[in-house]
């Protein structure tokens, strides 16, 4: 991959919703990206989805003026990440999966290269224990889609080094993102507040108190929630939401974080939200 003026060379591991979003953001800023996923078919599909994200960003006027799109490479193994200046792990919200990726990648990277977990709920210091150099591990929680939401939650673990924080700050500046640094804890700030609230909104629908659209309209028009909690669930991915709630429930003991039956049923049916074409709402694909 050719160096850009910033010198950033980004590797993203995981070609799911967030991996695609982060990759689209990076190449829209002219930065080179290596996107890694063990599933070759998913990588091929990711290229199509990234092109779609870029078209939407352009239509919305969110692409930087005059920037040439950065080069995108894909691979089914992380070997090419050796020369990365930053690696973002964006795999599913599952401790075993993330632990395996962090352990493998940390043996490839040069010491001092930030190893970023884009997790929504798993404590960063817990993840850092699987890496060869815990000081290189730091957390981010990009919102979806990243090209529309410029603020990113950054989680500093107990062992995250100062050099790692500085390097991450440079990378986020190159991506045009504004970091807000928080302390490590299950769910951090955004997920700890938002995900139980979405769970409650789904429970209200489950109990028959109000319908999906009415719940969202009340939250949007009375309380200023931009998209409504249930439409937000579709954007997050209901399967990802359930995984995050389980992590929160296991690590906090908060009964309000136990996924309600309606969310579990939607996951069972494959109604994962926007990415599957159906969740609380239906979407044209």
Co-location of 175 and 53 in the same domain: yes
pLDDT at 4: 44
Co-location of 23 and 163 in the same domain: yes
Residue 175 lies in a domain: yes
Co-location of 200 and 176 in the same domain: no
Q: How far apart are CA 202 and CA 200, in angstroms?
A: 5
Q: Range of 255's domain?
A: 191-276
Using DSSP bridges, classify how beta strands 86-89 and 10-13 pair: parallel, antiparallel or unpaired: parallel
Which secondary structure element, helix H or strand E, spans residue 43, and what is its range? helix 40-59
Domain total for the chain? 2
Taking CA atoms, 26 is separated from 62, 67, 70, in Å, by 13, 11, 7
| Long-range Cβ pairs for the range 274-283 (8 Å, 24+) | 274/234, 274/235, 274/237, 275/17, 275/237, 279/233, 279/234, 279/238, 280/202, 280/205, 280/212, 280/230, 280/231, 280/233, 280/234, 280/238, 281/212, 281/230, 281/231, 281/234, 283/234
Q: Residue ranges of the alpha helices (H) in 3-39?
A: 17-28
Co-location of 125 and 235 in the same domain: no
Could you report the per-residue pLDDT of 152-197, keeping only the tens digit for each?
999 999 999 999 999 999 999 999 999 999 999 999 999 999 999 9
Mean pLDDT of 218-233: 96
On the 0-12 / 13-18 / 19+ scale of CB atoms within 10 A, 63 is middle
Co-location of 218 and 82 in the same domain: no
pLDDT at 7: 87
Co-location of 16 and 156 in the same domain: yes
Residue 5 lies in a domain: no
Co-location of 123 and 18 in the same domain: yes
Band (6; pLDDT cuts 50, 70, 90): low
Q: How far apart are CA 110 and CA 179, in angstroms?
A: 24
Co-location of 72 and 105 in the same domain: yes
Which residues are catalytic, by number? Answer: 141
Residue 285 lies in a domain: no
| E-state strands within the chain | 10-13, 33-36, 72-75, 86-89, 115-118, 137-141, 151-156, 178-183
| Number of C-beta neighbours around residue 61 at 10 A | 7
pLDDT surpasses 80 at 1: no
pLDDT at 285: 66
Query: Over the chain, what is the mean pLDDT?
Result: 95
CATH number at residue 122: 3.40.50.720
Residue 66 lies in a domain: yes
Residue 157 lies in a domain: yes
Using DSSP bridges, classify how beta strands 137-141 and 151-156 pair: parallel, antiparallel or unpaired: antiparallel
Could you report the per-residue pLDDT of 110-143, keeping only the tens digit for each?
999 999 999 999 999 999 999 999 999 999 999 9
User: Please, which residues bridge with residue 181 across strands?
Assistant: 154
> CB under 8 Å to 281, separation ≥6 — which residues?
212, 230, 231, 234
Co-location of 24 and 85 in the same domain: yes
Band (3; pLDDT cuts 50, 70, 90): very low
Could you report the per-residue pLDDT of 251-262, keeping only the tens digit for each?
999 999 999 999
pLDDT at 28: 94
Closest CA to 138 of 120, 155, 163, 158: 155
Residue 26 lies in a domain: yes
Strand order, beta sheet including 33-36: 72-75, 33-36, 10-13, 86-89, 115-118, 137-141, 151-156, 178-183
CATH number at residue 242: 1.10.1040.10
Taking CA atoms, 111 is separated from 71, 116, 148, 167, in Å, by 25, 14, 33, 12
Could you report the per-residue pLDDT of 32-66, keeping only the tens digit for each?
999 999 999 999 999 999 999 999 998 888 887 77
Place of tokens 């302390």: 183
Co-location of 211 and 78 in the same domain: no
Q: Which of the listed residues 160, 183, 206 is the one where a domain comes to its end?
A: 183
Percent of the chain with pLDDT over 70: 98
């Amino acid at each position: 991959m050719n160096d850009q003026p910033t010198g950033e060379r980004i590797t993203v591991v995981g070609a799911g919703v967030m991996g695609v979003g982060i990759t689209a953001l990076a190449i829209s800023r002219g930065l080179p990206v290596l996107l890694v996923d063990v599933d070759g078919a998913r990588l091929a599909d990711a290229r199509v989805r990234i092109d779609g994200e870029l078209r939407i960003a352009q239509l919305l006027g969110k692409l930087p003026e005059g920037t040439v799109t950065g080069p995108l490479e894909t691979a089914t193994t992380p070997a090419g990440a050796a020369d990365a200046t930053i690696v973002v792990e964006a795999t599913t919200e599952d401790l075993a999966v993330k632990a395996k990726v962090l352990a493998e990648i940390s043996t490839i990277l040069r010491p001092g290269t930030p190893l970023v977990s884009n997790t929504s709920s798993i404590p960063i210091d817990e993840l850092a224990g699987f890496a060869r150099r815990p000081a290189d591990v730091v957390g981010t929680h990009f919102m979806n889609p990243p090209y529309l939401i410029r603020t990113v939650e950054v989680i500093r673990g107990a062992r995250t080094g100062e050099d790692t924080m500085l390097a991450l700050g440079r990378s986020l500046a190159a991506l045009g993102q504004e970091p807000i640094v928080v302390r490590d804890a299950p769910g951090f700030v955004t997920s700890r507040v938002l995900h139980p609230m979405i769970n409650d909104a789904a429970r209200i629908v489950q109990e028959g108190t109000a319908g999906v659209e009415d719940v969202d309209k009340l939250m949007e028009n009375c309380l200023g929630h931009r998209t409504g909690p249930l439409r937000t669930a579709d954007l997050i991915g209901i399967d990802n939401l359930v995984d995050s709630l389980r992590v929160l429930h296991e690590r906090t003991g908060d009964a309000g974080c136990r996924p309600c039956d309606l969310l579990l049923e939607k996951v069972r049916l494959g109604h994962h939200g926007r990415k599957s074409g159906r969740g609380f709402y239906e979407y044209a694909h």
